[in-house]
Amino acid sequence: MSVSTAAAAQTICAPLPVLGRDVTVPLVTGGEVGYAALDYAASAPALQRVWDDVAAYAPYYGSVHRGAGYLSQLSTDLFENARRTVAEFLDCRADDQLVFTRSTTDSLNLLAAALPADCQVFVFETEHHASLLPWKGARVTYLDAPRTPRQAVATLQSALAGRDPHGPALVCVTGASNVTGELWPVRELAAAAHAHGARIVLDAAQLAPHHPVSVQDLDVDWVAFSGHKLYAPFGSGVLAGRADWLRAAEPYLAGGGASRKVTRRQDGGVDVEWHESAARHEAGSPNVIGAYSIASACKALTEAGFDTLVGREQYLVEKVRTGLAEVPEVRVLSLFGDDAPRVGVISFVVDGWNSSHFAAALSAEYGIGVRDGLFCAHPLVRTLLGSDPQSQGECGAPEAAPGEKSLNAIRVSFGAGTPDEHVDRFVTAVRELVTEGATWTYRTEDGRCVPAV
């Protein structure tokens, strides 16, 4: 750690309180230990602030938009105020729409359903499946994995230069990789998209919990993210941005709330007039608690200050990377190189270990929760691990198709609720497992590596 980073770390506040910080888990070697939750990239724990806000509101829960009673009116106000709070958090334009969805995946599928006819979509193979797969109704161009941010921009510019200039086009890009944690050049990619008459949607699932996201500053047309990665795990997500494509599209779900007027025709059918507001794509009873929890998390992160949160997280990132670099058997995965800026998401492999076996030992012997596998980003991880086949015979080795290598990696991820001790324990555990081996035996059960009993 550099002197400047060490000095800065002394002024960085303690992590934001999260649920589960006092949970203990049993170890196979005996006794219990405080659980080290280091899988934030999958689902971050709820902020205590979010839980307290939801608990305070719960007795007043009522139907939204369609009730005359006091609790319904209160819930409606809370729901719409949440929409405004999240729009402010994202620095949306005045005429943008913000739709509450179930998740990032749901948000991007909603946008995919709203694409104009004959739309061309450009997406890097490095994307999470949530942003790689929804575009099946469009003409899709998959772009090869770039090895530098500059190459990413050049690759997109070249692809867009060869597109049909008369039809609509959309670029989909991540803000921070869910595999490497590396930040992507979103502002530059947006400029390239707009220069060629295309729009751009930002998958901010891994960016929004770690960095401020400004729709206007980044100049993106839409942004999507999930509450459960933003310390608000109540099954809600957000799609925010340009209103025109959303207003012109058929409702994502047909039903109550999306319709403004429904009448019978003389021929026996029905005519429907759909809302043009966000309600057009929010049919049914909305997840008011999910929306409120996202707004609560947005307020908490804003009040804590992203400068402070980013500074502390970078201190933890440097601590983890320094610790892993001291173990020669560990290789950290990266597209853009060691100097690339990144959030608290780090994936790696360990020579002589299947990743599932290593992750199982971290959990069973040290009480550390990480993730192993391909992280719903199979093309990217296969690109990064192309030269690292892992034995089929090892505990938990994933099955491979005929002629393919068996590949998986380990991912450690953290954020605003991570105490220093969890990171220190993780670095120590990696070193001990590599140098001394596991103290327990493990077996494969349903494709997973588990302690043998």
Residues serving a catalytic function are 376
**In whole angstroms, what is the distance from residue 390 CA to residue 354 CA?**
6
What six digits make up the tokens of 217?
């500053």
Residues 6+ apart with CB under 8 A from 321: 332, 346
Q: From the CB of residue 9, how many other CB atoms can be counted at a distance below 10 Å?
A: 17
Q: How far is CA 37 from CA 236, 412, 433, in A?
A: 22, 9, 19
Q: From the CB of residue 272, how many other CB atoms can be counted at a distance below 10 Å?
A: 14
What six digits make up the tokens of 229?
């990665």
- Closest by Cα among 158, 142, 159, 210 to 182: 210
**What ranges in 344-419 are assigned the alpha helix state H?**
355-366, 378-384
Residues 6+ apart with CB under 8 A from 5: 314, 315, 318
**In whole angstroms, what is the distance from residue 57 CA to residue 309 CA?**
27
